[in-house]
Chain A
C-alpha cells in the first residue's frame, strides 16, 4: 500500500469514530480507563526522564559557559527555555510514542487478530468509536498534563543539580528562572503537546486497528507505528516552530 492509501484509510478511520455512542456510560468508563492507562501508566517514566533531562542540561550548560564575563544566572534561563520549548513537549512525546503508541497498537492489533473487534461489530457496536476514540481523547487530556509535569520536574532536576554540584546557589537559580520569562513559550509548548498527543495516539491506533495476520504482524505494526509516529512528531515539531515562533 502506498502513502495515499494509508492516509485515506487513516482519515476514514478518524471520520468513522465520530458517531453517537451506543451507551454513554460505558464509553465514559472506557475513557476513564484509558486516561488511567495512558496518564497514570506513564507517570513513572516521564518523571525519571524529566528529572535527569533537567539535571544533565544543567551540567552541560555550566560546562559550556567558560567565559567569566557571562553571568551564571543565564544557566537556569537556558535550562528553563530548552526544557519548556523542546525537551518537555518533544522529547517526552517521542518517548511516549514508544510507551503509549506501542501499547495502543499492540492492544488493538491483538483484538483484531483474535476477532474481538469482529465480535464487537457483530453486537452492533461502532468499534472505531468505542475502541479508538477514547484512546485519542484520553491521550489529548493526559499527555499535555504529563508535559507540564515534565517541565516542572525538568527545571527542578536542574535546580537540584546546580545546588548539589555547587555551580550556583538555589537562590541564584530561582532568580534566573524568573528573569526574561516569556509566557508565550508555555503556550507554544502546550500547542505542541496537544498536537503530538493526537499524533502518538491516532497513528498507532490506525496501525493496530487495521493489522492483518498473527502475532508477528502485531509486532511489526507496533514497531512501524512507533517509527511513523516519531517521524510525524518531528515533522510537526518543525512546522509548529516555523509557524508559531
Chain B
C-alpha cells in the first residue's frame, strides 16, 4: 500500500502538483490519469524519489518515504520495479543481461540460478528465445515486455509503469495491459500506472486518480467512470463522439438516463 498526503511540487513559480492526496491499494492496478501536463509523471517521480516534493508525505506500508535517509531509500527501492515510458533498457546489454542486471547487483545466487530466474520471467512476459538479442534488435512492444521482466525479476512489492502503452498499436497495448494486470494479481503487487490510454482506463482501472492541472479532480474505478457526472473527467475520457456514444449506450443498458 502506498499513501501520499498533501503532495505539492513547484518548478519555479509553476505549481505542478497542488495538495494531492490518495491511497494506492495493494494487489490492484492503480491508475493516474490526466491530460499531458496535468502532473501525473511528476507525481510518479515524486513517489519513487526521483523528485522531492516541496510539501506532503509519501508512506510505503506505513513507512514515511519522504523522511528516509539515502540508505533506507536504497533498501526500499529494492522492493520497487519500474517500467519507463521509453523502456530505459541498457543499450549495450542483451535482453538476458538487462533482466539479469538487478540479480547480479543485489543477489549472491549462482549464475545458473540467476539464468533460471531470468528465463522464468522472460517466459512470463512471452519473450522466450529473445535472450541474446540487443534492445536495438527488438520491437517497441518487446522492449516494454523486457522492461516489465526487468522490473519484476526481484519480485518487487511495488510496480510503477510510466505510460506503458505509449507508441504501441492498440492490440499490443492491450497485451501489455493484460500482462501488467495479471502480474499484479499474481504477485500481489501494488501497481501504479500513469496513462492517458482509454483502453487501459476501462480495462484495468481498479483504482483511478484523475489529475487536472495538478489537482486531484476525481477518484473511482473503471465502472464508476461510465456513470460519473464530473464534466472535466467526461471531457477527458469521452473526448470523441464515438466514445460519447459508447458511454450513452452503456448508461442506457444500465437503465440510467444519459
Contacts and interface: CB of A to CB of B under 8 A. Distances in A.
A124 B77 contact: yes
A121 interface: yes
A188 B50 CA distance: 44
A118 B82 CA distance: 10
A122 B75 CA distance: 11
A110 B86 CA distance: 12
Given A118-B50, A121-B50, A123-B78, A23 B102 contact: no
Contacts of B101: 123
A122 B82 contact: yes
A125 interface: yes
A125 B50 CA distance: 13
B82 A119 contact: yes
Given A116-B90, A122-B48, A123-B77, A26 B104 contact: yes
A110 B135 CA distance: 15
Interface in B62-104: 73-78, 80-82, 84-86, 88-91, 101-102, 104
Contact of A119 (B49, B75, B88): B88
A114 B88 contact: yes
B84 A118 contact: yes
Interface in B184-235: none
B104 A122 contact: no
Nearest to A130: B105
Given A23-B104, A26-B104, A115 B85 contact: yes
A26 B88 contact: no
Contacts of A118: 50, 82, 84, 88
B162 to A, nearest CB: 8
- By size class, the interface of chain B is 20 to 34
Interface string A5-48: 00000000000000000110010000000000000000000000
Given A115-B85, A119-B82, A124-B78, A22 B105 contact: yes
A199 B42 CA distance: 35
Contacts of B86: 114-115
Contacts of B90: 116
Interface in A62-108: none
Contacts of B81: 122
B106 interface: yes
B109 to A, nearest CB: 12
A100 B101 CA distance: 26
Contact of A122 (B77, B89, B91, B106): B77
A22 B75 CA distance: 11
A23 B84 contact: no
Contacts of A123: 77-78, 101-102, 105-106
B50 to A, nearest CB: 6
Contact of B105 (A26, A110, A114): A26
Contact of B84 (A26, A110, A115, A124): A115
Top-9 shortest CB links A-B: A124-B77, A115-B88, A119-B88, A124-B74, A122-B82, A115-B84, A124-B78, A23-B105, A116-B88
Given A119-B84, A122-B80, A123-B105, 17 more contacts: A23-B106, A26-B104, A115-B86, A115-B88, A116-B88, A116-B89, A116-B91, A118-B84, A119-B82, A119-B88, A122-B81, A123-B101, A123-B102, A123-B106, A124-B75, A124-B78, A124-B80
